[in-house]
């Protein structure tokens, strides 16, 4: 049976007129699968577990039901909902989305997170707020200060719950949920559903409905993403990326790197090639991060070079390309990254630079996505020059369609008295070509694609024989090149705060995971004493962790950070 546009749109979900008008003004016509499934359930009061990747529209899926609960103007202004998120960037992004959707309702939304002066948050909370979007550590700080009133909270949302657990926030989440009313509605969104998620759900959700939006449900959007792998030796990767970007000519792109150091080095390289690139990682102050994002959204920055943690949850409308500078160790990370392009009917491009030893990781991604990723050769010098000429031609064709060409009649007439018209045209093409910033690049990049042996289809998904000997390079590739797993070396770091300062192991894991590119699983063991703590981290990440902790606070305190010696 066919449905009308009205029946298939947001108006069929039972939302308030103010929300419908806001959605219409923003150009949203039809809900995504996750929105269509979850919004009616949340409006009817069900607890819910939602599994969905980035790009499926899950923010609106919980934001609209939250805003539905906001009382009419003139009623007392108290928090009716609390949204917990893993990172500062996601807190800002979710609060901005809530504000845009709820503007006609007079919604007051406040993001609270570490790295921002707490007095601003105290002022906003004391002035009255409907929705609080918080990172777990800062939410606990305000609860301890009695500055975050939760007595009237009707809904609690745990967004990116798996990421929060990986960052060591499990204890914080438990404490926060204990501080909210038992009669609340609890909603949990997660890209993956490991056993720890189910454990939280059993303790804190009541008869939850489980909604899973998988790759099959988002296939139309994914079909709009052109996925390509270029196989390159590590020492040629930066040059290969520059060549690929020159040929692709993205409007705006995110380049994902594994480490903060790699982000900084690659940003410098790309700027040297003439791109307007900005770095985004845990080492930046919040002010610097905000400045970077504003430049990207304003179009004054073309490339954002970022770590996964720093870019978690970012939603940029004008994004055309996503680049994996390394193959993600977790196939789910690949899906989340490419989900940032190809939205709302727009085409997008996902590019991955793989070293020959990373073929197992590529096979894992293909198994998960049930798609073959095309392996292409890095563009040659001839390919680059042909593309540059093509872009110049497009620029000139656009100029020839302008309606003010007659303003330049006198210039052409004057030149025609001295030069042939073809010479004049060639000079104009030359100037246009040079003004476009075409890169002079005459060095060929070695092709390594012949070194990748793609697994046969009938071998896909077969588990390896237990105990079968495997090369160290293969093991490292499966671990995403993690140097900790390659050599097993762990360094201990001294942190000059301990139990007496209110520090718990989760605080240390959360601080390190939030400020670096390490996951919670890579941190430990942790020894906690009265006045200090000793934390184990991978040897290769030691300097990055020390620098990150020196630039942050733990329970509001600056701590002495150094390598630990007995």
Which domains are seen in the chain, by residue range? 5-213 (3.40.50.300), 218-380 (3.40.50.300), 482-563 (3.30.70.330)
Summarised one tens digit per residue, pLDDT across range 291-315 is 887 887 777 888 999 887 666 656 6
How many CA within 13 A on the CB side of residue 284?
24
Provide the pLDDT for residue 183. Answer: 93
**Which has the closest alpha carbon to 350: 416, 253, 490, 460?**
253
Averaged pLDDT, 366-395: 81
Strand partners, 493: 535, 563
Summarised one tens digit per residue, pLDDT across range 487-521 is 457 889 999 998 888 888 888 888 887 777 677 77
Strand 374-376 to 348-354 pairing:
unpaired
Contact 134, 113 (CB under 8 A): yes
Per-state percent for the chain, helix, strand, coil, to nearest 5:
50, 15, 35
Check: pTM over 0.85? Answer yes or no.
Answer: no
Averaged pLDDT, 174-186: 94
CB atoms within 10 A of CB 404: 6
Which comes out higher in pLDDT, residue 558 or 132?
132
Angle in degrees, CA 97, 317, 124, rounded to 5: 25
Which comes out higher in pLDDT, residue 278 or 447?
278
Which range has the top average pLDDT, 6-10, 14-18, 402-406? 14-18
> Average model confidence (pLDDT) for the chain?
81
Summarised one tens digit per residue, pLDDT across range 322-379 is 999 988 877 777 887 887 786 655 678 999 999 887 877 888 888 888 888 989 888 8
**Which has the closest alpha carbon to 533: 501, 495, 564?**
495
**Which has the closest alpha carbon to 544: 337, 307, 266, 237?**
307
Q: In what order do the strands lie in the sheet with 131-134?
A: 109-112, 131-134, 81-84, 155-158, 185-190, 48-51, 209-212
**Rounded distance between C-alpha atoms, residue 403 and residue 399, angstroms:** 9
Contact 438, 393 (CB under 8 A): no
Which comes out higher in pLDDT, residue 283 or 54?
283
User: Which H, E and C letters describe 448-492, residue by residue?
Assistant: CHHHCCCCCHHHCCCCCCCCCCCCHHHHHHHCCCCHHHHHCCEEE
What percent of the chain is predicted at pLDDT more than 70? 85
**Rounded distance between C-alpha atoms, residue 18 and residue 68, angstroms:** 9
């Amino acid at each position: 049976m066919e449905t009308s546009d009205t029946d298939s749109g947001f108006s069929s979900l039972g939302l308030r007129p103010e929300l419908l008008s806001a959605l219409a003004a923003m150009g949203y016509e039809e809900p995504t699968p996750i929105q269509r499934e979850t919004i009616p359930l949340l409006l009817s009061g069900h607890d819910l577990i939602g599994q969905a990747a980035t790009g499926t529209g899950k923010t609106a899926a919980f934001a609209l039901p939250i805003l539905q609960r906001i009382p009419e103007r003139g009623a007392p202004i108290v928090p009716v909902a609390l949204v917990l998120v893993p990172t500062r960037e996601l807190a800002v992004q979710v609060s901005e989305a809530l504000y845009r959707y709820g503007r006609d309702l007079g919604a007051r939304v406040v993001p609270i997170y570490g790295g921002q002066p707490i007095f601003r948050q105290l002022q906003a909370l004391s002035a009255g707020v409907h929705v609080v979007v918080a990172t777990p550590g800062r939410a606990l700080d305000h609860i301890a200060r009695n500055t975050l009133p939760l007595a009237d909270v009707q809904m609690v949302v745990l967004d990116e719950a798996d990421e929060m657990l990986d960052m060591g926030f499990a204890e914080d989440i438990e404490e926060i949920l204990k501080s909210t009313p038992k009669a609340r509605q609890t909603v949990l969104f997660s890209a993956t559903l490991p056993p720890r998620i189910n454990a939280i759900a059993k303790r804190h959700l009541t008869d939850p409905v489980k909604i899973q939006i998988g790759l099959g449900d988002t296939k139309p959007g994914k079909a709009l993403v052109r996925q390509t792998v270029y196989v390159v030796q590590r020492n040629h990767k930066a040059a290969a990326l520059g060549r690929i970007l020159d040929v692709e000519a993205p409007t705006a792109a995110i380049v994902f790197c594994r480490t903060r150091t790699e982000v900084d080095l690659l940003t410098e390289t790309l700027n040297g090639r003439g791109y307007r690139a900005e770095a985004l990682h845990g080492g930046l102050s919040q002010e610097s991060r905000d400045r970077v994002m504003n430049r990207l959204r304003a179009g004054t920055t073309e490339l954002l070079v970022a770590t996964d943690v720093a870019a978690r949850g970012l939603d940029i409308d004008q994004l055309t390309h996503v680049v994996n500078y390394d193959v993600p160790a977790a196939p789910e990370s690949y899906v989340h990254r490419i989900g940032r392009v190809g939205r709302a009917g727009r085409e997008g491009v996902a590019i991955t630079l793989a070293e020959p030893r990373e073929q197992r990781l590529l096979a894992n991604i293909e198994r998960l996505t049930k798609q073959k990723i095309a392996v292409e050769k890095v563009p040659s010098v001839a390919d680059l020059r042909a593309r540059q000429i093509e872009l110049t031609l497009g620029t000139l064709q656009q100029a020839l369609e302008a309606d003010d060409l007659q303003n330049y009649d006198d210039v052409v007439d004057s030149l025609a008295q001295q030069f042939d018209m073809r010479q004049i045209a060639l000079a104009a093409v030359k100037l246009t070509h040079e003004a476009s910033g075409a890169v002079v690049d005459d060095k060929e990049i070695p092709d390594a694609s012949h070194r990748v042996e793609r697994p046969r289809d009938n071998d896909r998904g077969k588990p390896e024989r237990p105990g079968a000997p495997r090369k160290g390079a293969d093991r490292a590739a499966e671990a995403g090149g993690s140097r900790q797993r390659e050599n097993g070396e762990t360094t201990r770091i001294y942190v000059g705060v301990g139990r007496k300062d209110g520090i718990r192991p989760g605080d240390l894991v959360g601080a390190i995971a939030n400020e670096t590119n390490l996951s919670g699983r890579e941190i430990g063991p942790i020894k906690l004493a009265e006045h200090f703590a000793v934390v184990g981290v991978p040897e290769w990440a030691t300097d990055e962790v020390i620098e990150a902790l020196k630039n942050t606070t733990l329970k509001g305190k600056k701590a002495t950070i150094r390598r630990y010696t007995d």
